């Protein structure tokens, strides 16, 4: 489990794909202490929970390796990642850690397309659109995770919604690079999902 509070920005150093394109092995550089990264650990990369399969230090930088399988490649923006892509990183939540954002599974539900970007004094407002089956879980003032970042929904209209990004978030995540026409990973709020399921079972 995660909280949607980004703790580092990683960068893909290498990417190796299988002949069938069903699996991508990624090597990601980060600022985490190598001694704290164990094989089998979970790290959310742009909101996608991936399992560490290797790690080390090279040229004074920590790196870790993860595999992105076919389902991840098909459902998320991971299919477009390449060498040099920067990723929002978050380590798995530990018992006793501060829950600064909201409860995030790291299981991206799909993608949302950025419709518009409006730059305001020190802030940015984004309007996005997503699939109707996901939009039904999005509500004004509710929580949502975009590219691994816990955000509060501002407005909702049909399948479109907006978020307002504060200066701190723009400074410590990749959201400052978002542009109209880009796609981002989306994970809807777990509570909204369970509430909808309970309603359907009545």
List, in order, residues 6 or more apart from 107 with CB less than 8 Å away: 49, 187
Residue 12, both tokens: 């893909």
Residue 133, both tokens: 């089956």
Q: How far is 64 from 10, CA to CA, in rounded Å? A: 10
Q: In this predicted structure, what is the pLDDT of residue 19? A: 66
Q: How far is 138 from 160, CA to CA, in rounded Å? A: 9
Q: pTM for this structure?
A: 0.93
How crowded is the C-beta side of 69, counted as CA atoms within 13 Å? Answer: 5
CATH topology agreement for domains 8-91 and 110-201:
yes
pLDDT in tens, 175-193: 999 999 999 999 998 877 7
Contact 73, 185 (CB under 8 A): no
**Which of 192, 200, 198 shows the shortest CA–CA distance to 104?**
192
Q: In this predicted structure, what is the pLDDT of residue 93? A: 86
What string of DSSP letters covers 30-89?
Answer: ESS-GGG--TT-EEEETTEEEEEEEEEEETTEEEEEEEEEHHHHHHSGGGG--TT-EEEE
Averaged pLDDT of the chain: 93
**Which of 71, 57, 86 shows the shortest CA–CA distance to 24?**
71
The fold of 8-91 is Elongation Factor Tu (Ef-tu); domain 3 (2.40.30)
Q: In this predicted structure, what is the pLDDT of residue 45? A: 98
Q: Which residues of the chain have pLDDT under 50?
A: none
pLDDT in tens, 133-168: 999 999 999 999 999 999 999 999 999 999 999 999
Which architecture does CATH list for 110-201?
Beta Barrel (2.40)
Please report, for the chain, the start and end positions of each structural domain, with discontinuous segments joined by +: 8-91, 110-201
Q: Is 11 helix (H, G, I), strand (E, B) or coil?
A: strand
């Amino acid at each position: 489990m995660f909280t949607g509070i980004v703790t580092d920005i990683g960068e893909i150093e290498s990417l190796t794909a299988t002949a069938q394109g069903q699996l991508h092995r990624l090597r990601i550089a980060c600022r985490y202490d190598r001694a704290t990264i164990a094989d089998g650990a979970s790290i959310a990369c742009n909101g996608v929970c991936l399992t560490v399969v290797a790690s080390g230090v090279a040229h004074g930088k920590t790196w870790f390796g993860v595999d992105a399988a076919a389902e991840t490649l098909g459902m998320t923006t991971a299919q477009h990642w390449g060498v040099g892509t920067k990723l929002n990183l978050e380590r798995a939540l530990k018992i006793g850690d501060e829950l600064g954002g909201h409860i995030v599974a790291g299981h991206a539900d799909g993608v949302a397309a950025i419709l518009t970007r409006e730059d305001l004094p020190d802030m940015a407002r984004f309007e996005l659109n997503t699939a109707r089956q996901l939009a039904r879980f999005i509500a004004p003032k509710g929580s949502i995770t975009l590219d691994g970042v816990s955000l509060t929904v501002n407005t909702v209209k049909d399948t479109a919604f907006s978020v307002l990004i504060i200066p701190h978030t723009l400074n410590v995540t990749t959201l400052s690079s978002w542009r109209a026409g880009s796609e981002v990973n989306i994970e809807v709020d777990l509570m909204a999902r369970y509430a909808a399921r309970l309603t359907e079972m009545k």
